[in-house]
Amino acid sequence: MTVTIDSLVQESVFTYRVKWTSDLGADTEVDIYQNGELIATTTSDEWLFTVPPLETLYFEIIDTDDEREEGISSRRVGLGWYNSEDENPDEVDYYRIDEFEDAAWSEVNRVPNNGITFFFWESPFLPNLTEKKYRVVAVGINGNDGAAREFATTPVGFDDVPQAAYSHSSGTGKVTVTIS
């Protein structure tokens, strides 16, 4: 039915831990895809992804219950991260969330550095099957940008209900249905 990504945490330069829940309950079997390839089937609720240098993490978690309807998520993206090993947390003012759209990066939000070690941001509702790219950039108290961490995802969810209009012709007795 629905798999919700609860956290995405960069644990080191090349590894990311993803945790999720399924509305089918604990111990639900899920298929894990990385870069479009099935890499595992598990009943675990987390996975550690390894991303080679200069590549972007792209993943999908799909529950494999035979009775499920098509569609797998709430169509929101959650980004989670720790301070990078090369960042001094005391020198970070905030983290800037950028979205890549129309061939350019633009700021969509800021997450303040409030002294905690884990940070999280969730996107607004996204259209079904729309590839999104985000990056997280640490901005120092001096205003300088740190290294960017990039994420790519394609949210998949239940299809939007089509809008239908009906009209009836009393002369012919026909009903016309227009779906938009």
44 contact partners, CB below 8 Å, separation of at least 6: none
Backbone angles phi, psi at 99, to 5 degrees: -120, 140
Question: Smallest Cα–Cα separation from 2: which of 24, 31, 19?
Answer: 24
What residue segments make up the domains of the chain, in order of their start?
Answer: 3-153
pTM of this prediction exceeds 0.75 = no
**Residue 65 corresponds to which tokens in the numbers above?**
């219950």
Do residues 8 and 18 lie in contact, with contact meaning Cβ atoms separated by under 8 Å? Answer: yes
Domain covering 3-153: architecture? Sandwich (2.60)
Q: Are 75 and 97 in contact (CB under 8 A)?
A: no
The pLDDT profile of the chain, 180 residues, written as one tens digit per residue, is: 577 888 888 888 888 898 888 888 888 888 887 766 778 888 999 999 988 776 677 777 887 654 333 434 456 777 888 777 667 778 889 999 999 988 999 999 998 888 777 788 878 777 767 788 999 999 999 999 988 888 887 766 655 555 656 677 788 766 665 655
CB contact set of 31 (below 8 Å; sequence gap of 6+): 38, 40, 41, 61, 62, 63, 64
